[in-house]
Amino acid sequence: MAFGEFDLIDTYFTHRWPKRDDVVKGVGDDAAILTLPSDSELIIATDTMVSGVHFDEQMPARAVGHKVAAVNLSDLAAMGAEPAWLSLALTLPEMDQEWLEGFSHGLREICDYYDCHLIGGDTTKGPLTLTVTAHGFVPQGTALRRDGAKPGDWIYVSGSIGDAGLALAAQQRKVQISDSHYRRVLERLYFPSPRVALGQALRDIASSAIDISDGLKADLGHILQASNVGARVDVDELPLSLALTESVTAEDAIRYALHSGDDYELCFTVPESRRGVFDTVLARHPAKPTCIGRITSEANKLRLERNEEPWQGADEKGGYDHFG
């Protein structure tokens, strides 16, 4: 096919994409040249999606384009960062113009929404694999980290969790759900909303934060490990969607919320002393966070409870680990 790498970038990834003033030079040189606001720190995240592993042929190209940016912006959100620039490494088996049309459309939509400038990357031939590196910034010293949780801090989760896992299970015919519920949860699996505004609002409020990509149990576990603390979580407080609670048993809904990933909500902790400010900020955010428990001093110990008794439905299943 007489369609070159340079044409590809020119056709699909250049025109009518959002431009930012802090990009001195974007696509078209050996590397991009950027300026950073003064007194700020740079935040950098990288995530890869591999065809056949993170998505399959059922997933529309537009959703692939949205999601590969969304998962990276979700990492920036978990740091409290303002997103700015994306690099894209795109490995494609062949020049599939229809797929590229959809993919670049999905990617451009989310770049438009968050004012992200695609500053460069690489296109190569090979098995379909996408890597995005996302860059953002925070005022110096304000980044949210995993290692700041203290005993007594309250634990919150934004939005609802377990929906993306339900969508995947339904798609793999492991569970039967209604068409309308399926459409709703599939939207969450395919077009996750990174909690960018919430993350930034939490900068001076939360003591720690993480995005839920591998499941609440695994990701809260990362906070506990990094902060050297424990947690008590009341399983009846987990924020569950109607789609989830109406599709599976009450106990299974909790299991989806705990163990399935890909929801890209934020899990974060708030010290007692910041709860007043937090409630004020909260009122402005649509992804209203729910308090699910409290940090304890028992290092690395996550207690799942119901009415202050151990939850009987707990099992040992952890989060998603690619080489587990």
Annotated binding site: 30, 46-47, 54, 75, 121-122, 146, 211, 213-214, 262, 320
Site for its own copies in 293-322 (CB under 8 A): 321-322
Does 196 bind its own copies (CB under 8 A)? Our answer is no
CA separation for the pair 62, 149 (Å, rounded): 37
Hunting for tokens 């077009």 — which residue is that? Answer: 191
Minimum CB separation of residue 275 from its own copies in Å reads: 23
Minimum CB separation of residue 1 from its own copies in Å reads: 7
Site for its own copies in 66-125 (CB under 8 A): 75-76, 78-79, 81, 85, 87-89, 91, 95, 119-125
**Cβ closest to its own copies, residue 181 vs residue 217:** 217
**Cβ closest to its own copies, residue 76 vs residue 205:** 76
* Max intra-chain CA distance, the chain: 67
For residue 256, give the nearest of 240, 234, 232 by alpha carbon.
240
Hunting for tokens 């729910």 — which residue is that? Answer: 290
Q: Which amino acid is at 142?
A: T
**Cβ closest to its own copies, residue 132 vs residue 257:** 132
Among 104, 131, 158, 200, binds its own copies (CB under 8 A): 131
CA separation for the pair 109, 262 (Å, rounded): 20
Stretch in the footprint of its own copies (CB under 8 A) among 128-136, 159-167, 244-252, 279-287: 128-136
Stretch in the footprint of its own copies (CB under 8 A) among 46-54, 56-64, 105-113, 180-188: 46-54
Minimum CB separation of residue 283 from its own copies in Å reads: 26
For residue 250, give the nearest of 311, 194, 299 by alpha carbon.
311
Indicate the pairing of strand 154-157 with strand 230-234.
unpaired
Minimum CB separation of residue 297 from its own copies in Å reads: 22
Backbone phi, psi, residue 99, to 5°: -65, -45
Among 11, 48, 171, 296, binds its own copies (CB under 8 A): 48
Site for its own copies in 221-260 (CB under 8 A): 226
CA separation for the pair 269, 193 (Å, rounded): 20
Q: Look at residue 74 and give its three-state secondary structure.
A: helix
Site string for its own copies, 137-166 (x = CB under 8 A): -x-x--x-xxx-------------------
CA separation for the pair 150, 109 (Å, rounded): 39
Site for its own copies in 5-34 (CB under 8 A): 5-6, 8, 24-25, 28-34
Check the CA dihedral 221-255-56-73 and report its sign: negative
